[in-house]
Structure 1
């Protein structure tokens, strides 16, 4: 009896270590993007010339976009490492590189001290982070999918967006606390650096945790010849699956951008709702999102991936315009509209990490997901802010909304092209 109990305790400890090591690294990635967006005005004033504040902000946002451009390169680089050297190695290197980028921003000299070198330091740091973030998701979700029990893989996959959302909430709340407790002078002088230094420390901790994880059985079960097989022929062979990753992602990345990222800022700047109230409305909605993720994950393990994906895409498309019309002039409207949309968005977000992994064989699983996913996020997610702003300024906001719904319909149609993969054995 004691042997059985000890075995169960050992299994639970290993599970906790796996979930923590995978989750905290993913949280660091999302945290990095959240704090950069939150502290853009301070970065612009400290790392660019103060002669033209508007140009400084635009330059800071342009460097933010550079991270999206670097993601596909990171997806290929870390995907190759994951499929040839190991999932664990790829995950560990990715989070270590992301931590280095955060540290560089946190200690970057000001423009007043070194001139344009301050701006170049920021650019280099964001390139490093973009590479790391392009490799983080495919590496971590492949690792998580391969170590998860196949009958519970849908539930385990929810860790990706759960930990990511926790990272966003942590960055947002830290920003709010610093703004409340520090003076404007202190924030400009050193306060804005604190979140980046915290991110560097979190990344270092994640690196240590991941270095202690075991490699997946699926990867270790491959022969030496399979691990040395040329990548490009396999990419060409599985081009259909790569296209399916893009098709399943286009709707999710844009609709999540609208409701999970931009809605609070839109409510504060355009609808003139109090910024503090929009922050708490966003916190409430993201807590609802986190709660919805495991529900959809468990459901996919019961009824299948395709039904859940279809429900998420169609539900988001159907509810997008009603929730847009609901959001007018109060924080409760923002909380309700965000929560409703994030419940449906959670259906896809919960299980796509598992679905992506289940589409590819072991020998190309990381890079097969990483490259098409990163390209899709860069092309559609990266351009969404510009399109939404530009169409809004010329009075065509509804055109962007129609565009978002059209992409959701595309994702819904792509669901019919994939096989049902619930319970698939990933060791073959």
Structure 2
């Protein structure tokens, strides 16, 4: 009973930070067009949108640095120190995002400050997701690591869903013009409240005594990770790439894509996106639990192979004015991406404990910053130069094929007695 109680406390602390992180990015992605118009005014809406998604990507450029910093903290001072400090660093930029003046008010200083705030948030997020994955998997019972680890992406999906709910509420309460002009600021104020709650929850986590006791024996876990785990780092980077591209294409960019390509109303696009995310929210823990029974690789291989094969057909189905077809396509994407519920345990088990936060943070955040965060910008660019609204599907298929290859190459799964 005591073990289960400790596991529940860890699950709550681990997923809470991910809720905040992905709430913030979900809100930014959904209001990207409005933010682009206010901070990057242009006669061409595509140019403003491209610039707005460029700032979205800028937040990801800081993630590898955040991964290096908080991964080092996690391996030297313990997982608790890393997750508490990362959420503190996230709260301040969220507050300033809500208060930031527009281009019309302070000129070119507005987009510069916007970029700096996204960089600060990216730095904090760089240590948040991977350290929470490590925390969840290490504290889980051996037979439940896949299931408990799945609450890291579960929290991320919950954050996106919460962002969608807040966006829907704003659009329902306010005229669309007001929601786009100043209503999005209220969404960031809500993120500040979430951050304070997360901080209070994580302060109650006990320190990692084993990490603290061994701290003097490891002068540089980061250096050791590069020296001894560089092959695993490269493989994990390649594996993470596919899911990163899929996640941001399907659940951040496609809301904007539906509005731009099919002229679907903002409220309708948000509703469809929310239904698909909710489906993924349900399937993700099931995939994690399934991996505890049949292994991580079969679940992950099924998801990556399915995405590589069906990325174009599914986007073709979505490229229609018929709402049931759009929902069916989004639901299929959600099912395939849900297989990543087995991912946290798979990735955590790939590294030895003493360099786990450092190695995983480096690999995961490099993949997300280079490929995941740039997805909206790349998608807009591909459509613009090809004139083909389905062009992003080929990018997704290629990324998924690489993820499939890396899933096959990453070493055998750690047995229960050898795992964390």
TM-score by length of 2: 0.91
Query: Which residue pairs with 1:390 in the alignment?
Result: 381
Q: In structure 2, how many angstroms separate the alpha carbons of the residues matched to 1:342 and 1:230?
A: 36
Give the one of 332, 353, 357 matched to 1:366.
Answer: 357
How much does 1:391 deviate? 2.4
How much does 1:387 deviate? 2.9
Q: In structure 2, how many angstroms separate the alpha carbons of the residues matched to 1:103 and 1:350?
A: 31
Is contact 1:301-1:423 (8 Å) kept?
A: no
Is contact 1:25-1:206 (8 Å) kept?
A: yes
Is contact 2:68-2:222 (8 Å) kept?
A: no
Distance 1:12 1:224, change over 3 A: closer
How much does 1:38 deviate? 2.4
Structural mapping, 1:65-80, within 5 Å = 65-80=57-72
Is contact 1:94-1:133 (8 Å) kept?
A: yes
Between stretches 412-421 and 58-67, larger displacement belongs to 58-67
Query: Which residue pairs with 2:143 in the alignment?
Result: 151
Query: Which residue pairs with 1:105 in the alignment?
Result: 97
How much does 1:233 deviate? 3.6
Secondary structure of 1:223's partner? helix
Structural mapping, 1:20-419, within 5 Å = 20-44=12-36, 48=39, 58-111=50-103, 113-183=105-175, 186-187=178-179, 190-216=182-208, 219-220=211-212, 223-229=214-220, 231-327=222-318, 328-347=320-339, 349-393=340-384, 394-396=386-388, 400-418=392-410, 419=412
Distance 1:424 1:26, change over 3 A: farther
Query: Which residue pairs with 1:423 in the alignment?
Result: 416
> Number of residue pairs matched?
416
Structural mapping, 1:4-23, within 5 Å = 8=1, 10-23=2-15
Secondary structure of 1:352's partner? helix
The one-character-per-residue Cα deviations of 1:332-357 (angstroms, maximum 9, x if unpaired) are 1111111112112111x202111111
Secondary structure of 1:355's partner? helix
Distance 1:57 1:260, change over 3 A: closer
Is contact 2:222-2:359 (8 Å) kept?
A: no
Between stretches 174-183 and 229-238, larger displacement belongs to 229-238
Q: In structure 1, how many angstroms separate the alpha carbons of the residues matched to 2:259 and 2:417?
A: 45
Distance 1:218 1:401, change over 3 A: farther
Q: In structure 1, how many angstroms separate the alpha carbons of the residues matched to 2:32 and 2:117?
A: 14
Secondary structure of 2:62's partner? helix
The runs of 5 or more residues in structure 2 that have no matched partner are: none
Superposition RMSD in Å: 2.4
The runs of 5 or more residues in structure 1 that have no matched partner are: 1-7
The one-character-per-residue Cα deviations of 1:228-278 (angstroms, maximum 9, x if unpaired) are 345324312111110111121122111222323333332332123344333
Is contact 1:26-1:163 (8 Å) kept?
A: yes
TM-score by length of 1: 0.89
Q: In structure 2, how many angstroms separate the alpha carbons of the residues matched to 1:399 and 1:113?
A: 37
Distance 1:218 1:395, change over 3 A: farther
The one-character-per-residue Cα deviations of 1:125-159 (angstroms, maximum 9, x if unpaired) are 21110101111111111111111112100001111
Distance 1:258 1:68, change over 3 A: same
Distance 1:382 1:113, change over 3 A: closer
The one-character-per-residue Cα deviations of 1:156-185 (angstroms, maximum 9, x if unpaired) are 111111111111111122112112212467
Query: Which residue pairs with 1:3 in the alignment?
Result: none
How much does 1:74 deviate? 0.8
Q: In structure 2, how many angstroms separate the alpha carbons of the residues matched to 1:403 and 1:53?
A: 25
Distance 1:119 1:357, change over 3 A: same
Q: In structure 2, how many angstroms separate the alpha carbons of the residues matched to 1:276 and 1:215?
A: 44
